Amino acid sequence: MTGPSSFDAIREMEDRFQVPTYAHLPLAVVRGEGCRVFDSEGNPWLDFYGGHAVALTGHSHPRVVAAVREQAGRLLFYSNIVYNDARARAAKALVEFGPGGAGKVFLCNSGAEANEAALKTARTATGRPGVVAMSDGFHGRTLGALSATGLGKYRDYGGPLVPGSAFVPFGDLAAAEAAVGPDTAAVLLEPVPSLGGVRVASPEYYRGLRRLCDERGALLLFDEVQTGLGRTGRAWAGDHWGVRPDMHTMAKGVASGVPCGAVLFSERIAAGVKEGDHGSTFGGGPLACAALEATLAVIREEGLVARAAASGAAIREGALALPGVREVRGLGLLLAISCEAPAKAVLARLRERRVLASSVSSDPSAVRLLPPLTAGPAEVEEFLEALAAARPDQP
Ligand SMILES: Cc1ncc(COP(=O)(O)O)c(C=O)c1O
């Protein structure tokens, strides 16, 4: 394959042929390995943005790559009109990874599509139209998922939305109690709202939402697109508080970067899902399923859930010791470091040291971290050194 190889040539070609929906960093990434990516000039970067939380097992984990290669050579794709060995194994592995190892999955391609399926199921399962979601939540860009997204920046696309959503502030149980009524099909939330500020509510809040849903006949939906599969230092965010939702949605790193999303239904909800309720040409495709099965095996066998907890704790402790760091929020390896300096300045200074991290749209002081769960003591130390040099105390 030949094509553009310098940064300028790559940028020029992308900008010429793609609609300008994304703000890009001045960087072309062409290769990845573990916690590192390499730019078009061959320079290594420490990736604590994780390709937008997708590189759960690190970039191009050899085991995932081997599974994808093997499956690609055998069968790239066949639809759900037939049974398939890779799909059977992936579905079993995901259910077994789920809380309690019970329930069933619907496989799809993205987080938005998973949330669409969960919202539809909530409505059909309860016969109710309404959704109570969080004013600082984000659930995807398709119309249904967007309509349940509270963050105004994303909702205001210039056209009408799907009716039926009410919004309450995350963490406010009294507001949820006032909003959930006889028309409410579901309460939908990111257990740790990521774009909404990486805040963690009290255990009583999550337990209170579970009780509220049970009392009023609504379903509890956890959007675990960012928090699922070990990122928070537990397999699922609800494990921190002993709360099990009726549906988990997931995507991002579930297949280590091969597009894949899923809804994990509790046994009770799965029992009501019928033929024709959901469908997707590419959902459950063999290639994504091979990557999904390998991803779950890597997370389990390399102890990545415990590693996320340990590395997250080390980052928190190290960052809090630095001048200019006001607060560290989040769980495991989903963290927001609140700085005296604007996050934009700190992120730019991190990039000068070839370190990638992210921001939080609702908090201009916060540097958001979503590194691979493979990040260990060496990567944590390297990141903390770069953060200290990026001067969180200097505007
Ligand atoms: C919490 C959450 N839900 C849903 C989505 C949408 O996922 P996707 O972009 O795969 O549709 C995202 C994407 O960033 C997300 O962070």
Ligand 1 geometric centre to CA of 9 (Å): 30
pLDDT tens per residue, range 357-388: 999 978 999 999 999 999 999 999 999 999 99
From-to residues of CATH 3.40.640.10 in the chain: 64-301
The CA radius of gyration of the chain, in Å to the nearest whole number, is 21
Q: What is the pLDDT of residue 2?
A: 75
- How distant is the alpha carbon of residue 239 from its chain centre? 17
Active site residue 138: yes
pLDDT tens per residue, range 47-63: 999 999 999 999 999 99
**Count of Cβ atoms closer than 10 Å to residue 382 Cβ:** 17
Choosing from 47, 170, 252, 363, the catalytic residue is 252
Q: What is the pLDDT of residue 47?
A: 98
Q: What is the pLDDT of residue 1?
A: 66
Q: Which residues line ligand 1 (CB under 6 A)?
A: 110-112, 115, 138-140, 190, 194, 223, 225-226, 251
Ligand 1 geometric centre to CA of 348 (Å): 25
> Which listed CATH number (3.20.20.140, 3.40.50.10240, 3.40.640.10, 3.40.50.300) goes with 64-301?
3.40.640.10
Q: Give the residues of the chain that fall short of pLDDT 50.
A: none
Alpha carbon distance 173, 92 (integer Å): 35
Active site residue 252: yes
- How distant is the alpha carbon of residue 373 from its chain centre? 13
Query: Is 129:164 a contact under the CB 8 Å cutoff?
Result: yes
